[in-house]
Amino acid sequence: MASKKRQYLINVDSDSVSQRFTDCLVIGAGIAGLRAAIEAAKHQKVLLVCKEGLEDSNTWEAQGGIASVLGKADSFESHISDTLKTGNGLCDEKIVELVVRNGPELVRQLLEWGVEFDKEKGRIATTLEGGHSHSRVAHAHGDETGRMIAQGLIRRVKSISNIKIMENFYTVDLLTDADGKCVGLIGKNGNSSQIIWAANTILATGGAGSLYRETTNPAVATADGLAMTWRAGAVLRDLEFMQFHPTTLYIAGASRALVTETLRGEGAILVDGRGYRFMPDYDEAGELAPRDVVSRAILAHMLKTEATHVYLDVRHFDKKHFAERFPLINELCESFDIDISKDLIPVRPSAHYMVGGVKTDELGRTSIPHLYACGEVASTGLHGANRLGSNSLLEGLVFGTIAAQDICERKDAKPRQTSIKYEIPVSDRTRLDTADVYNSLRALMWRNVGITRTERQLSEAQEIIRFWQRYVMDKTFDAPAGWQCQNMLTTSLLMTQTAQKRKESRGVHFRRDFPETDDKNFKKHIEISSSI
What's the pLDDT tens digit per position in 88-113? 999 999 999 999 999 999 999 999 99
115, 120, 108: which is closest to 69 by C-alpha? 108
Q: CA neighbours within 13 Å on the CB side: how many for 411?
A: 0
Residue 6 to residues 45, 228, 366, Cα–Cα distance (Å) = 32, 11, 20
Helix (H) or strand (E) holding 468: helix 455-472
* Domain extents in the chain: 1-241+355-525, 245-351
> Residue length, the chain?
532
Q: Domain 245-351 class?
A: alpha beta
For 180-215, how does the pLDDT look when each residue is reduced to its tens digit (9 = 90+)? 999 999 999 888 899 999 999 999 999 999 999 999
CB 60 within 8 A of CB 154: no
* Catalytic residue annotation: 291
Residue 251 pLDDT grade (very low, low, confident, very high; cuts 50, 70, 90): confident
242 pLDDT exceeds 90?
yes
CB proximity list for 253: less than 8 A, separation 6 or greater:
none
Helix (H) or strand (E) holding 483: helix 480-501
Residue 454 pLDDT grade (very low, low, confident, very high; cuts 50, 70, 90): very high
Q: How far apart are CA 247 and CA 302, in angstroms?
A: 13
29, 28, 34, 24: which is closest to 397 by C-alpha? 34
Q: 3-class secondary structure for 73-99?
A: CCCHHHHHHHHHHHCCCCCCHHHHHHH
CB proximity list for 520: less than 8 A, separation 6 or greater:
none
Residue 63 to residues 149, 151, 318, Cα–Cα distance (Å) = 11, 14, 20
Tell me, what's the pLDDT at 265? Answer: 86
The per-residue DSSP string of 410-434 comes to -TT--------EE-PPPP-SPPP-H
Tell me, what's the pLDDT at 5? Answer: 65
The mean pLDDT value of the chain amounts to: 94
Q: How far apart are CA 257 and CA 423, in angstroms?
A: 42
Phi, psi for residue 282 in degrees, rounded to 5 = -105, -25
Q: How far apart are CA 462 and CA 444, in angstroms?
A: 10
Residue 391 buriedness (CB in 10 A; 0-12 / 13-18 / 19+): buried
The per-residue DSSP string of 17-62 comes to SEEEEEEEEEE--SHHHHHHHHHHTTTS-EEEE-SS-TT-SHHHH-
For 299-355, how does the pLDDT look when each residue is reduced to its tens digit (9 = 90+)? 999 999 999 999 999 999 999 999 999 988 899 899 999 999 999 999 999 999 999
> If you average pLDDT over residues 348-370, what whole number do you get?
97
421, 443, 427: which is closest to 482 by C-alpha? 427
- CATH of region 1-241+355-525, choose from 1.10.274.10, 3.30.1330.60, 3.50.50.60, 3.40.50.1970: 3.50.50.60
For 8-60, how does the pLDDT look when each residue is reduced to its tens digit (9 = 90+)? 999 999 999 999 999 999 999 999 999 999 999 999 999 999 999 999 999 99
- H helices then E strands: how many in the chain? 16, 23
For 458-490, how does the pLDDT look when each residue is reduced to its tens digit (9 = 90+)? 999 999 999 999 999 999 999 999 999 999 999
Burial 445-461, CB ≥16 within 10 A → b, else e: bbebbbbbbeeebbeeb
Calculate what percentage of the chain has a pLDDT beyond 70.
98
pTM equals: 0.94
Beta strands 66-67 and 137-138 are antiparallel
**286 in the Ramachandran plot: left (φ > 0), alpha (ψ -120 to 50) or beta?**
left
Q: What angle do CA 440, 59, 450 make, to 5 degrees?
A: 30
CB 250 within 8 A of CB 308: yes
